[in-house]
Amino acid sequence: MSWRFSAKGPPLKARSLFPLVLVVALVAGCGGGGTASLDKDDVAVVGDQHVKKSSFDELMDQACRSFKAQGRKCAKAGSTDYSTIKNQAVTLLVQQAEREEKAGDLGVKVDDKAVDKRLTQIKKQYFGNSEKKYKSQLKKQGLTDEQVRRDIKAQLISEAVFKKVTGDVKVAKGDVHDYYIQHPQLYAQPQSRDVRHILVKTKPLADKIYAQLRGGADFAKLAKQYSTDPGSKAQGGKLTVSKGQTVPPFDKVAFALKKNELSKPVKTQYGWHIIQALSNVKPRKTTPEKQVSDSIKQQLIQQKKNEAMTEWVNGLTKDFCKGGKVKYQVGYKPNPDPCATATTSTKTDTAQ
């Protein structure tokens, strides 16, 4: 599972053992569905679930290792970095417990068998079924097998919840057509043509090469000898250009030449070009809707699924916050309190 903390500097991967195992960080959760009492070794309680300090400590340790891997010192207690990471760690753990509790209402259950199956897949994909390599990586990352299994379970729950919440999402044929019509630039192919060119730094050299070409010299040979364009030099200067996608002076000349015509040296911000047209201008084309309808449909489905999931999570946050049922241990309540944001949002929605 990858936990991402952001303090100062780039994001940190506190757990980066398995690229496959990623927690879907939906939104900051808060609240709960029960009246459990705080134990001394709790960071918080969410409904009937206890968020243990041991889990919090694991995240903080992983964040510290990430700092060290970047050549930075671990965040010190009392510092801004430490407070930021601490708030994010507590919020993430509460959020995870919250989703797990609500998952039960959706009929989502993840047992040890499912966790074993996913872990077996991970070991096969990343460690060639080698238990030795797997344990070596655990040690390197400072993780335990138990932690990994918990992370896998959280991911499986997230996947199952997503599937449940978005299972009825559909996209009508008319939606696909509307998207195609509204985004013509995505499916239009501009005019293009095959050309070859030689790019040099100075006009005297460009004039010299132009004279040689007019005298019958081999274009490809001179391009390989003189051109400073790394993208076409090895191909004897050949490239296919699309209308409007090269610098204006080059574009203007490249599309004005007759087939096989050679241009005089053309100045651009990159230097001096001698251009020769190798083909006629190929007309502008538009990809037919039927060729892209499937990809548009999949894109719109994914977009609607994400929207449905966001709506569900926002509703979940508000539900858990209404009764103030989440309880934080003294010194662990995030600042700002996610519930305060959710409550403010609810009042704003009601007023509207």
Task: List beta partners, residue 266.
Answer: 273
Q: Using CA atoms, how far apart are residues 253 and 109, in angstroms rounded to an integer?
A: 66
Q: Look at residue 323 in the predicted model and tell me its pLDDT.
A: 66
pLDDT at position 213 is 97
Cis upstream peptide for 336 (omega within 30°): yes
Q: What is the pLDDT of residues 247-263, one digit of tens each?
A: 999 999 999 999 999 99
DSSP at 49: E
pLDDT tens for 72-109 read 999 999 899 999 999 999 988 888 888 888 888 889 99
- Res 23 pLDDT > 60: no
Residue 39 DSSP class: P
Higher pLDDT, 131 or 31: 131
Q: What average pLDDT does the segment 144-148 reach?
A: 91
Note the pLDDT tens digit of each residue in 156-196: 999 999 999 999 999 999 999 999 999 998 999 899 999 99
What one-character-per-residue DSSP string does 151-210 give? HHHHHHHHHHHHHHHTTT----HHHHHHHHHH-GGGTEE--EEEEEEEEES-HHHHHHHH
